[in-house]
């Protein structure tokens, strides 16, 4: 009996011992497998992290190379260079690599100057500078009356070949403008190429404070109002509102809206002006890279009720194309002149924490009928080529005269 009991206890002991070993094995196996899974997870995360670092522009290798370049400049470059200038050069270069003439980096100083310009006040010569898309050269796209540019004899279409002896070939518009602007009462020397001139023109222009009148207006014969908008700045809405009110008060029977050589400007400003002319509906809509759409609409309470002609040319761009495109789509006015520039993209100023900023192309815009005119432009309803010889030699604006005659017939 005792032997049988001892045998049973022995069997239970062995069974428990074996079960314990199996449980320990299973436990260690689970720990081992879990550990391996965790190691694999860490490896995968490390791989993803490494790939991210390899894809990132400001990775370890990039920083090392920038340091090498900085040291090499410091050791070999002839002149002294301020570290801040090299830093800004990095930021300018990153945005320039986008190969987008409308995107740029603004240093804190650049940003202040740009904000002054959009307010309608700056120190310069009183000329608008645009890019000729066929030649890639900067040209005078407009001249403000009673400014140094007009006094020096600059004309729309003049090609800016050099500024103070520095060639402008390959420069962006913003770079050329920066060379032309400067301190008040200083002089800038321009080397100009002009059509039908055998040699370059050398002009000295004195910089002055330019308070930019963005809207000019007058009443012409037969109750025809003429309103010119030179660009869409913060001051433009009030100036246009006043001009339109005066013209309406003078028994306006027809309207010539002159957007020739208008390079564009503020999207919200052009929409405010459009709301004083268009019927109820879409003014323009934009779409970003994610397909997100933003719409700008008009309630139609101020729709123009008289015949209208909109004058445009190859320097009418961006915001001026938004307005002229909407007028054409709704059929409430006749576009006259030559094909517009074709800038159907929108830029946004993105401030940075150190006072600098980025201006980036963020979306495309579409006219009410869903047309994106980027790189295409808007064809006028009535093509009238500009007679520069008649304008500069005799003071005759043949496009404006054609608009007046067109409206005379409409009014009668």
Task: Characterize the bridge pairing of strands 334-337 and 382-383.
Answer: parallel
| Pairwise CA distance, residues 146 & 182, whole Å | 19
| Pairwise CA distance, residues 384 & 352, whole Å | 46
Please pick, among 233, 258, 324, 343, the residue that the annotation labels catalytic. Answer: 343
Structure tokens at 247: 């013209």
Please pick, among 88, 110, 258, 329, the residue that the annotation labels catalytic. Answer: 329
| Pairwise CA distance, residues 305 & 237, whole Å | 20
| Pairwise CA distance, residues 257 & 252, whole Å | 13
Does 343 qualify as catalytic in the annotation?
yes
Task: Characterize the bridge pairing of strands 281-288 and 293-298.
Answer: antiparallel
| Pairwise CA distance, residues 26 & 28, whole Å | 6
Question: What residues contact 334, with CB distance under 8 A and at least 6 apart?
Answer: 307, 308, 309, 310, 381, 382, 406
Please pick, among 103, 141, 261, 318, the residue that the annotation labels catalytic. Answer: 318
Name the DSSP letter for residue 158.
-
Name the DSSP letter for residue 335.
E
| Pairwise CA distance, residues 3 & 183, whole Å | 116
Q: Residue written as tokens 């028994």? A: 251
Closest CA to 101 of 168, 164, 163, 170: 170
Closest CA to 404 of 145, 261, 223: 223
177 and 116 Cβ atoms separated by less than 8 Å: no
Q: What DSSP line would sit under 213-267, residue for residue?
A: --EEEEE-GGGEEEEEE--B-TTHHHHHHHHHHHHHHTT--EEEEE-TT---B-H
| Pairwise CA distance, residues 45 & 137, whole Å | 50
Taking each helix axis as running N to C, give the angle between helix 60-76 and helix 83-96, from 0 to 180 degrees, rounded to the nearest 10: 130
Task: Characterize the bridge pairing of strands 357-366 and 104-106.
Answer: antiparallel
Catalytic site positions: 318, 329, 343
């Amino acid at each position: 009996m005792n032997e049988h009991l001892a045998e049973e206890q022995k069997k239970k002991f062995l069974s428990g011992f074996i079960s314990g070993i199996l449980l320990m094995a299973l436990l260690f196996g689970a720990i081992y497998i879990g550990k391996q899974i965790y190691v694999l997870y860490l490896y995968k995360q490390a791989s993803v992290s490494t790939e991210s670092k390899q894809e990132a522009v400001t990775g370890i290798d990039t920083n090392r190379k920038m340091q090498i370049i900085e040291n090499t400049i410091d050791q070999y470059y002839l002149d002294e260079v301020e570290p801040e200038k090299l830093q800004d050069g990095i930021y300018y270069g990153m945005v320039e690599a986008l190969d987008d003439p409308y995107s740029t980096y603004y240093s804190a100083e650049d940003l202040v100057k740009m904000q002054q310009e959009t307010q309608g006040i700056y120190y310069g010569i009183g000329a608008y500078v645009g890019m000729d898309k066929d030649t890639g050269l900067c040209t005078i796209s407009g001249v403000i009356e009673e400014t140094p540019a007009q006094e020096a004899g600059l004309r729309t279409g003049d090609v800016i070949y050099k500024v103070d002896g520095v060639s402008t070939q390959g420069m962006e518009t913003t770079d050329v403008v920066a060379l032309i602007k400067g301190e008040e009462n200083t002089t800038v020397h321009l080397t100009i190429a002009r059509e039908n001139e055998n040699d370059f023109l050398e002009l000295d222009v004195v910089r002055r404070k330019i308070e930019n009148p963005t809207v000019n207006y007058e009443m012409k014969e037969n109750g025809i109002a003429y309103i010119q908008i030179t660009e869409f700045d913060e001051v433009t809405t009030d100036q246009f509102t006043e001009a339109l009110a005066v013209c309406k008060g003078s028994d306006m029977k027809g309207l010539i809206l002159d957007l020739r050589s208008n390079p564009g400007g503020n999207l919200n400003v052009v929409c405010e002006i459009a709301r004083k002319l268009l019927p109820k509906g879409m003014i323009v809509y934009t779409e970003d890279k994610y397909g997100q759409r933003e719409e700008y609409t008009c309630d139609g309470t101020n729709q123009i009720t008289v015949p209208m002609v909109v004058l445009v040319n190859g320097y009418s761009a961006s915001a001026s194309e938004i307005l002229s495109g909407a007028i054409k789509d709704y059929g409430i006015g006749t576009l006259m002149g030559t094909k517009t520039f074709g800038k159907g993209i929108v830029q946004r100023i993105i401030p940075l924490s150190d006072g600098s900023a980025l201006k980036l192309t963020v979306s495309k815009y579409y006219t009410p009928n869903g047309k994106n005119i980027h790189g295409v432009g808007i064809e006028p309803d009535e093509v009238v080529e500009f007679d520069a010889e008649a304008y500069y030699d005799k003071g005759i604006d043949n496009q404006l005269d054609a608009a007046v005659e067109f409206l005379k017939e409409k009014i009668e």
